[in-house]
Amino acid sequence: MIVSSFMAAALLLLPSAPADRATGPRPVEPVPPPAAVRVDPVVLHRPGTQVRLPPGVKAPPRLSARSWLIADAATGDVLAAHDAHRRLPPASTMKTLFALALLPGLPPERQHTVSEHELRGIGDGSSLVGIREEITYRVADLWRGVFLSSGNDAVRVLAGLNGGWEATVRKMQATARVLGAHDTRVVSPDGYDAPGQVSSAYDLAVFGRAGLRNPDFARYAATPYAKFPAGRWSYGIRNTNRLLTGADGVKRYPGILGIKNGYTSHAGHTLIAAARKGPRTLVVSVMNPRRGGAYAVYEEARDLLDWGFAAAPHARPVGSLLPPRAALPVRAAAAPQAPRARKAPSAPPTPPAPRSVPPTAAVSVATLPVPGQDDGPRLLLPLTFVGSACLAAATLWWVRRRTDE
């Protein structure tokens, strides 16, 4: 009777184990990306316009651009394209690749005082934001100079911070290869006309899609107006992308996310643009319209976006902006393993610093500990010893009493 009382008391002191741990919160498991639609990459290498539409769906607009492409920014599916891999000079749209290559390594709050030699070598007739020597700029200011004013002077300074002009060319070329943009050859990081410098509507769309996945890139590319420092004062700058600002008689496109325009006498007008409508985001690239004047590139991009939002639910992809390996996760999920003995919990490790992730990579969500799920074992073990001691004491007392009798 006494033993039973002691055992009951010990049991009352023990914490109740959860009835079913499966009903509680679980760690988040890595989720593989949705399977990409299988498409033949050869299709986009064919000349002319490529599109696959069911009967009754309107065909893409007839444009004067030498090359163009429109794709779903989320999936990378190419909805339609014209001479997508034709190699043409890209003008300042090359600055998108420049930003993709250098943004991760240059903290935006870093400050830098410009010296005279950093501004040497800027091509005649280049677009400039107005950087002056002996003035200190934040890296974020320099990037606004790149994205809004297409400033080749800002590109020169940022390239210097990256290790120089040639080092930047190599880094940009390597970034293009990682993204699967094999039509691009980098000679001048600012997009200035240079012998052999080419890209394609396909590659430019790849750069635009990758940029939307980089928060800094997306923020700069969507900024219509900003203040630029000039020592003790500042002045206003406006984005040269008219679809974003609605300037010069070009109507602003609803849902526009910006990105980058360009022009040189050799390349003509070029543009990468993106827009969101409801749950869908589209990215377009347009290279060298041959009629319609200086702003035709914006109107042809507008026509493509209008067509894309209407046709996207019906069009079957004719290609993909993702390199072949990017359709698979970067790391396959580990096979299930047999449970191991639980170790005493230790202090949580300091989380590692965030690292840049390739824009086309599938990112898995880390398995995180669930707060409170290990509280039981920490109390169960000591209370089990207490219960055992009580039981042993009761047994000894009972044996001595019988002996005395």
Segment holding 282, helix H or strand E:
strand 280-289
Contact assessment for residue 260 and residue 204, using Cβ atoms and an 8 Å cutoff: no
Beta bridge pairs of residue 112? 137
Instruction: Of 72, 71, 89, 93, give the one whose Cα is nearest residue 80.
Output: 71
Q: By three-state DSSP, how is residue 48 classified?
A: coil
Residue 232 in contact with residue 54, Cβ under 8 Å?
A: no
Tokens read off for 109 = 């709050």
Beta-sheet strands, E only, within 127-193: 136-138
222 CB-contact burial (10 Å; exposed 0-12 / middle 13-18 / buried 19+): middle
Active site residue ranges: 92, 95, 150
Cα(385)–Cα(376) distance, rounded to whole angstroms?
15
Angle at 188 between CA 183 and CA 189, to 5 degrees: 85
For residues 153 and 237, give the distance between their C-alpha atoms in angstroms, rounded to a whole number.
14
206 sits in which H/E element: helix 201-212
Do 247 and 238 form a contact (C-beta atoms < 8 A)? yes
Report CA-CA distances (Å) from 88 to 84, 119, 127, 198, 346. Answer: 10, 28, 20, 5, 58
Cα dihedral 356, 359, 362, 364 in deg (nearest 10): 30
Residues 6 or more apart whose CB falls under 8 angstroms from that of 363 comprise: 330, 357
> How many C-beta atoms lie closer than 10 Å to residue 387's C-beta?
18
Residues 124, 268: Cα–Cα separation, whole Å: 17
> What distance in Å separates the CA atoms of residue 223 and residue 55, rounded to the nearest whole number?
40
